[in-house]
């Protein structure tokens, strides 16, 4: 059965449980699939690049796939560390296009990263958009030109703040039916 399974990545407690649970609810609503939180905490092991002081997100996708359960399940990891994919200097997240695994990080979605005060509501809202966006890629969706659509490519948090949590009608059509 197609379902979305969410995993915390890193040390136990590194990613807030409340956030992961909210993302499961939001994904159930916007992608219209059963979404649940796994008890398994996926380790960051093997993904760290000491020279960059960042984590290679593609390695985290591989770690997630170790926990593949049943056909068609989509696996979303939530990390708190800074992610990159060469040659990009950083990414908010990564997904296998049409595949099973996706990852997002709270690191650059947190106002504190930009020297501002923590804003939990804004952080959670950005995480929702990025989680839905990456899961959209797992369903084969590519980037959308509509800046309001959740599949719009965000280069900066300002772009994320501008888009909505919903798919435009064209992107919506490529998702599992409601």
Residues near Zn ion (CB under 5 A) are 144, 146, 149, 151, 168, 171
Which residue, 38 or 91, has its beta carbon nearer to Zn ion?
91
Which residue, 53 or 148, has its beta carbon nearer to Zn ion?
148
For residue 103, the minimal CB distance to Zn ion (Å) is: 12
Which residue, 168 or 175, has its beta carbon nearer to Zn ion?
168
Backbone angles phi, psi at 74, to 5 degrees: -105, 135
Is 134 a known active-site residue? yes
Q: What is the 3-state secondary structure (H, E, C) of the chain?
A: CCCEEEEEECCCCCCCHHHHHHHHHHHHHHCCCCEEEEEEEECCCCCEECCCCEEEHHHHHHHHHCCCCCCCCEEEEEECCCEECCCCCCECEEECCCCCEEEEECHHHCHHHHCCCCCHHHHHHHHHHHHHHHHHHHCCCCCCCCCCCCCCCCCCHHHHHHCCCCCCHHHHCCCCCC
For residue 61, the minimal CB distance to Zn ion (Å) is: 14
Catalytic residue among 16, 62, 134, 173: 134
Which residue, 113 or 147, has its beta carbon nearer to Zn ion?
147
For residue 16, the minimal CB distance to Zn ion (Å) is: 24
For residue 133, the minimal CB distance to Zn ion (Å) is: 6
| Active centre residues (catalytic) | 134
């Amino acid at each position: 059965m197609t379902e979305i399974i969410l995993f915390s990545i890193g040390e136990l407690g590194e990613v807030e449980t409340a956030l992961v649970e909210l993302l499961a609810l939001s994904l159930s609503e916007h992608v219209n699939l059963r979404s649940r939180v796994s008890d398994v905490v996926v380790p960051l092991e093997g993904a760290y690049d000491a020279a960059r002081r960042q984590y290679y997100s593609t390695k985290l996708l591989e770690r997630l796939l170790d926990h593949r359960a049943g056909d068609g399940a989509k696996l979303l990891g939530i990390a708190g560390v800074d992610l990159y994919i060469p040659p990009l200097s950083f990414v908010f997240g990564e997904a296998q296009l049409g595949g099973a695994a996706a990852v997002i990080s709270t690191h650059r979605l947190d106002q504190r990263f930009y020297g501002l005060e923590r804003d939990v509501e804004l952080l959670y809202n950005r995480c929702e958009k990025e989680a839905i966006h990456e899961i959209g890629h797992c369903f084969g969706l590519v980037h959308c030109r509509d800046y309001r659509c959740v599949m719009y490519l965000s280069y900066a948090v300002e772009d994320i703040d501008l888009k909505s949590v919903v798919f435009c009608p064209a992107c919506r059509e490529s998702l599992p039916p409601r």
